[in-house]
């Protein structure tokens, strides 16, 4: 059973999400919050598997709430999906950087939303590599780029650096394997090891690190 915390300042939005989740097997609505502060408190209390986090809310916004949730040592098993109205919302990149597992538009079809929650709860990356790259590219090309190398970047082997760069190009594990002429299992292992070394919660955050560290052009 996947426990979900619903965070949105609009009652109708929360009602719609609750109705959807409670009508499906395998999901339970563990709690609700109408602002960022309440979201952090609820997350600490109930430790949900997944948080559906609105961005614009009174008090602290969804971005700051996500930052605080991700900073909690006892919430390492909690994943955050950011909900936004605009695909190019400037908050999205920052949310991914601080540890959110991805984002969804609020008009996402119900079946897609349910699949996304399952994927994130299983520890997978919500965003496909190509969508992740498109999103990040949108923001890193808006102005002068300031590189901020990851403090543990030197722990990566040359092959792991290569794999991370390919992931940032939007390649899947299968495509990385083809590019490097290795097995998909080997490519997946390199990606996983790089994520562990850099402390990336999922592939989306790994790609952010790649752009910030200069591994991606």
Domain range annotation of the chain: 2-126, 148-213
More confident residue, 155 or 100: 155
Domain 148-213 falls under CATH 1.10.10.10: yes
Strand order in the sheet with 50-54: 27-33, 2-7, 50-54, 79-84, 102-105
Q: What is the pLDDT of residues 23-35, one digit of tens each?
A: 999 999 999 999 9
pLDDT at 210 > cutoff 70: yes
Q: How many CB atoms lie within 10 A of CB 91?
A: 18
**Mean predicted lDDT score pLDDT of the chain:** 85
- Per-residue pLDDT at 173: 86
Is pLDDT at 193 greater than 90 in this prediction?
Answer: yes
> pLDDT by residue (tens digit) across 47-92?
999 999 998 888 898 999 999 999 998 998 899 998 887 655 566 6
| pLDDT tens track for 133-144 | 566 666 556 555
Inter-residue contact 126 to 202 (CB < 8 Å): yes
Least confident span in 84-93, 94-103, 185-194: 84-93
% the chain with pLDDT above 90: 47
Helix 110-121 crosses helix 11-22 at what angle (to 10 degrees)? 70
Q: What pLDDT is attached to residue 64?
A: 93
Homologous superfamily (CATH) of 2-126 is Response regulator (3.40.50.2300)
Contact 90, 139 (CB under 8 A): yes
Please classify residue 71 by burial: count the beta carbons closer than 10 Å to its beta carbon, then call 0-12 exposed, 13-18 middle and 19+ buried.
exposed
Distance (Å, rounded) from C-alpha 55 to C-alpha 94? 11
Q: What is the mean pLDDT of residues 116-124?
A: 83
pTM: 0.73
């Amino acid at each position: 059973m996947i426990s979900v915390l619903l965070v949105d300042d609009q009652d109708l939005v929360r009602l719609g999400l609750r109705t959807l989740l409670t009508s499906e097997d395998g999901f339970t609505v563990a709690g609700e919050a109408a602002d960022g502060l309440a979201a952090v408190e609820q997350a600490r209390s109930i430790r949900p598997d997944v948080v559906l986090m609105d961005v614009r809310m009174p008090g602290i916004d969804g971005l700051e709430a996500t930052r605080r949730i991700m900073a909690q040592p006892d919430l390492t098993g909690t994943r955050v999906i950011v909900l936004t109205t605009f695909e190019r919302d400037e908050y999205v990149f920052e949310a991914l950087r601080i540890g959110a597992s991805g984002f969804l538009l609020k008009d996402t079809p119900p079946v897609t939303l349910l699949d996304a929650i399952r994927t994130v709860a299983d520890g997978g990356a919500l965003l496909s590599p190509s969508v992740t790259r498109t999103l990040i590219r949108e923001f890193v090309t808006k102005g002068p780029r300031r590189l901020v190398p990851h403090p543990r970047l030197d722990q990566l082997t040359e092959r792991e650096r290569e794999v991370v760069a390919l992931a940032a190009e939007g390649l899947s594990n299968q495509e990385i394997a083809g590019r490097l002429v290795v097995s998909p299992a080997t490519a997946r292992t390199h990606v996983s090891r790089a994520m562990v070394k850099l402390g990336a919660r999922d592939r989306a955050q790994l790609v952010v690190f790649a752009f910030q560290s200069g591994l991606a052009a």
